[in-house]
Chain A
């Protein structure tokens, strides 16, 4: 990683260290964000850095960025370079599951040591304000009538938005194989296509469209959470009779080949970090939902998501079986 990043990392660490209580157990950690500075994974890594140091769990935390191909480049480097190192962590998330499958990565998520899921973001489906589609059932009817004519705009191919489009179509009984999904780079471009009425519907994380929904330029027809989100006046798909629950989660994993003691130390450190006030404060600021899940439950979750995402991507032809 560049000298600059390190320098800034050090500056941040120092700034936050000044007010940190000293604790007996102090780690020196390295956290890899397998993406360029600025994205969701990078922000998660830097938020962890802040909370680790502020809560006194770690003495110093260094964030490195290894960008490329939805994390494929980063995880390869992590698995090979950090093997057996009990002081290294890597941030990952939903998108990496699909990216690894699509890029036929020789390195898989089974090789890393799962630590914990940290946050999640609920997905939303929106339509332009003047669309005849008023709710999720209308969209389902349109899909069943002629699936090719229903165009979805969202993020990169095989990402969480794409998986959700296919799952939605499959759940309502349309042929998920034929879902007409148009990938755009970044939320901005897809938003323009939706506002301009170029596509039928758009899919993204809720926070990304929040302003447009509140100002009435977009109509939200459903969110992908299990239950209603407090303070958000949008029905879930489940309420509307469509059994679709999905979240764009982010988690943290450790290197392969670490000892059970090392895993325990890291898991405890992450747990302390998650329970710290500093972390709660950051979640509030960034608008992330706490989705802490650790231990075997997280390992199970990771396996299940892997199967689910790979199946969906196979069904839409992005992953050749």
Chain B
């Protein structure tokens, strides 16, 4: 069947009143759980599975997709407003977004994130409809060595989050890498740095670390500074909406973010975090306003948010075409398919085109609904910032604790949250950047296991990293990214001498 005809057919299914209702319930639930740290879209879908089991398969899958997209929206709201990323994919958003919110530009930050998510989600869903068969062929060619090379690129670009001092940035990164070692080693099944505590065997939860460092750490820091200088949070300064200038500065990052998010999301081990960081560092390099980065640059919100949502659509490529779940939420959706006796994979498009295309079409609808749902809320959300500081931060602490308990009800987890909070406070106090810690925790374990897998497959021969064309290309990119700044600096000095 022609893709356009199939899509039109899908649209006809998706706009049936019941399916529209499911999509609405989905995006609403998704936004709600995305806002709460700890409870992500994966858990929500898992809990809904038994409830939806008697519903019509098309409708409930449409609802799950709505939850997935909605979760990506919701996570950014708390990241921007109260520096509490609802999930690890919204972490890059928190970096600039929260700074913007504190400077009274929370409105434009939320707006650029909502519109950017819409733009990226729409483009990526078009990509899903038209490019899936081609993309998936490339995606399965990615072997462990290629992932390792991709991680190298990511590690190098991470330096963009270092702030002013590379030494301090590297220190933070290494703290994160050490935390990444905690738990059962994926390749040998042996426990590392768990000190006999069974709760540590699964490693450190990224959201616990992020919420501890960002939210709890900041609350402690603000409390400690209270009698020194009154840091003023301005709720609204200037326009609540995006100005012409904001639009001008946002549209390119949206598109670039999509370019990172969609293909990397489609990789079986790509995930949503890596594209958000790649996008953040790209925007930081390309910006015409480098001074604003670290103080609330709109590009730093627009790019990662777009990347984040595009990767959500990317994840559906291997899920629908191969039955490959590449994120926790996708794995839950796969369980959802199987509950109805459907096996996603090469046969699904042929056997149940109504379902697949109905799902894809409803993604467009979910996206539009999310924009309609979220834009009017911007005005309401920014009012949160008018709450007096002590109340606001007390609320953040309650919120962070609740989210952590909801995700993992254990004393060990709460102690970790508190411990990371203190760590975050100390790092702020002594001026160490926070983001590299979380980046280290996310990337470290992936890089390690992919490298070791690659070496196990090649029987210990490191040349495998250069023999694969994808890996070799990515390593060259990493090398260029590493030395280019120095060369450019050198050239600059050279030119300055000539003058």
Contacts and interface: CB of A to CB of B under 8 A. Distances in A.
Interface of A: 1-5, 8, 11-12, 15, 36-38, 42-43, 46, 49-50, 67-69, 72-73, 76, 98, 102-103, 105, 148-149, 151, 156-158, 180, 182-189, 191-193, 195-196, 198-199, 207, 210-212, 214-215, 217, 285-287, 318
A198 B269 CA distance: 14
Nearest to A191: B324
A216 B322 CA distance: 12
Given A11-B51, A191-B324, A38 B335 contact: yes
Given A193-B143, A212-B346, A158 B339 contact: no
Interface string B327-351: 0101110010011110111111000
A257 to B, nearest CB: 21
- Across the A-B interface, the 3 shortest Cβ-Cβ residue pairs: A211-B345, A157-B189, A69-B201
A1 B406 CA distance: 8
Interface stretch (B254-262, B273-281, B392-400, B451-459): B451-459
A148 B198 CA distance: 33
A36 B453 CA distance: 26
B388 interface: no
Contact of B456 (A5, A182, A189, A210): A182
Nearest to A200: B457
A286 B139 CA distance: 29
B17 interface: no
7 contacts: A2-B406, A4-B39, A12-B51, A69-B184, A102-B189, A189-B324, A195-B140
Contacts of A151: 456-457
Contacts of B202: 67-69, 73
A155 B43 CA distance: 21
B189 A69 contact: no
Contacts, number: 159
Contact of A38 (B39, B331, B409): B331
B26 to A, nearest CB: 16
Interface in B198-242: 198-199, 201-202
Nearest to B339: A285
Interface residues of B, number: 61
Contact of A72 (B39, B198, B348, B449): B198
B326 interface: yes
A183 B338 contact: no
A73 B324 contact: no
Given A4-B406, A185-B186, A318-B188, A214 B269 contact: no
Contact of B343 (A1, A36, A73, A210): A210
Interface of B: 39, 42-43, 45-51, 139-144, 184-191, 198-199, 201-202, 268-269, 318, 322-326, 328, 330-332, 335, 338-341, 343-348, 405-409, 449, 453, 456-457, 459
A285 B49 CA distance: 13
Contact of A73 (B50, B144, B201, B325): B201
Contact of B347 (A76, A156, A215): A215
B50 A12 contact: yes
Contacts of A11: 51
Given A191-B322, A192-B269, A195-B322, 20 more contacts: A12-B51, A15-B51, A38-B331, A50-B50, A68-B198, A68-B201, A68-B202, A69-B202, A72-B198, A73-B201, A182-B187, A188-B325, A188-B326, A188-B331, A189-B324, A191-B323, A192-B324, A199-B457, A285-B341, A318-B189
Given A157-B186, A196-B143, A211-B343, A38 B332 contact: yes
Nearest to B188: A157
B145 to A, nearest CB: 9
Contacts of B269: 189, 192
Contacts of B339: 285-286
A23 B407 CA distance: 37
A67 B140 contact: no
A76 B201 CA distance: 13
Contact of A192 (B45, B140, B348, B449): B140
